[in-house]
Amino acid sequence: MSEKMACHLVDMTVLHTSVSLPLGYLQAYAETDPGISGHYRFFKHCRTIDRGIEPVWNDIQLLIERQEAKRQVFGFTNFFWNRNANLTIARRIKQVLPDALIVFGGNDVTNQGQTLLTDDSPVDVIVNGEGEIVFTNLLAQYREAGADFQSVNGVSFKCPDKGIVTTDPQTRIDNLGIIPSPFLQGTFSDMSIKASVDIAYEFSRGCPFKCAFCHWGMATGTNIRRFSLDRIQQDLEFIASQAGHITRIWLVDANFGMTDADVEIAYLLADIVQQSKKKILLVANWAKNTTKRVMEAAQVLYRHGIINGVTLSAQSLNNDVLKIANRRNIPFNYYQQLQKEFATLHIPAYTELIFGMPGESYRSFLEGVVKVIKAGGVPVIHPLILLNNTEYNSARMRNDYEIRSRIMCFMKQGLSDADILISHNRLPYEEWLKGMGLRIAVPVFYGGILKFVMRQFHSMHGLDYGDMLDLLVRYCMDGRLMSHPQFAKIFLHYMALWDSGDNVLPTPAGIKENQFGHAHYLSLMKCVLADTALAKRLIDELCEAIAGELPEGRGAAFAEWAAYQSLLVAAMSQASRHNNHPIRTEFTASQLAEYGEVDFIEDHGSFRHIAIRSDYISYTPDDFIFRIFFGGIDTLSMFGAARTVLPMNTSSI
Ligand code: SF4
Top mutation candidate among 107, 210, 211 for ligand 1, by most atoms within 8 Å of CB:
211
Q: Is 283 left (phi over 0), alpha (psi -120 to 50) or beta?
A: beta
**The pLDDT value given to residue 288:** 81
Rounded distance, CA 263 to CA 269, Å?
Answer: 10
- Under the banding of pLDDT at 50, 70 and 90, the label for residue 642 is very low
- CATH label, 5-166, candidates 3.40.640.10, 1.10.1520.10, 3.40.50.280, 3.40.50.720: 3.40.50.280
DSSP state of 346: T
C-alpha 433 to ligand 1 mean position (Å) = 26
Atom of ligand 1 nearest to the CA of 208: 8
pLDDT greater than 90 at residue 396: yes
**The pLDDT value given to residue 579:** 56
C-alpha 285 to ligand 1 mean position (Å) = 10
- The verdict on the CB of residue 592 being under 6 Å from ligand 1 is no
Top mutation candidate among 214, 215, 289, 327 for ligand 1, by most atoms within 8 Å of CB:
214
- The verdict on the CB of residue 207 being under 6 Å from ligand 1 is yes
CA-based nearest residue to 627, from 496, 489, 493, 525 = 525
> Mean pLDDT, to the nearest integer, of 375-391?
89
The better pLDDT of the pair 415, 646 is held by 415
Q: Under a CB-based contact definition with an 8 Å cutoff, are residues 205 and 217 in contact? A: yes
- Under the banding of pLDDT at 50, 70 and 90, the label for residue 578 is low
Rounded distance, CA 59 to CA 443, Å?
Answer: 41
C-alpha 522 to ligand 1 mean position (Å) = 29
- The verdict on the CB of residue 322 being under 6 Å from ligand 1 is no
The residue whose C-alpha atom lies closest to atom 4 belonging to ligand 1 is 211
Top mutation candidate among 288, 353, 354, 385 for ligand 1, by most atoms within 8 Å of CB:
288
The residue whose C-alpha atom lies closest to atom 7 belonging to ligand 1 is 254
CA torsion through residues 469, 474, 475, 476, sign:
positive
Give the three-class secondary structure for 343.
helix
- The verdict on the CB of residue 211 being under 6 Å from ligand 1 is yes
- Under the banding of pLDDT at 50, 70 and 90, the label for residue 399 is very high
- The verdict on the CB of residue 220 being under 6 Å from ligand 1 is yes
Percent of the chain with pLDDT over 90: 56
304-363 residue pLDDT tens: 989 878 888 899 999 999 999 999 888 888 888 888 898 888 787 888 899 999 999 999
**The pLDDT value given to residue 268:** 97
Q: Among 42-46, 133-137, 350-354, where is mean pLDDT lowest? A: 350-354
Highest mean pLDDT: which range of 169-178, 437-446, 644-653: 169-178
Q: Under a CB-based contact definition with an 8 Å cutoff, are residues 90 and 102 in contact? A: yes
The better pLDDT of the pair 576, 271 is held by 271
**The pLDDT value given to residue 624:** 39
Atom of ligand 1 nearest to the CA of 213: 1
**The pLDDT value given to residue 323:** 96
pLDDT greater than 80 at residue 603: no
Burial string for 195-209 (b: 16+ CB within 10 Å, else e) reads: ebbbbbbbbbbbbeb
**The pLDDT value given to residue 649:** 34
Atom of ligand 1 nearest to the CA of 327: 4
Top mutation candidate among 220, 290, 354, 390 for ligand 1, by most atoms within 8 Å of CB:
220
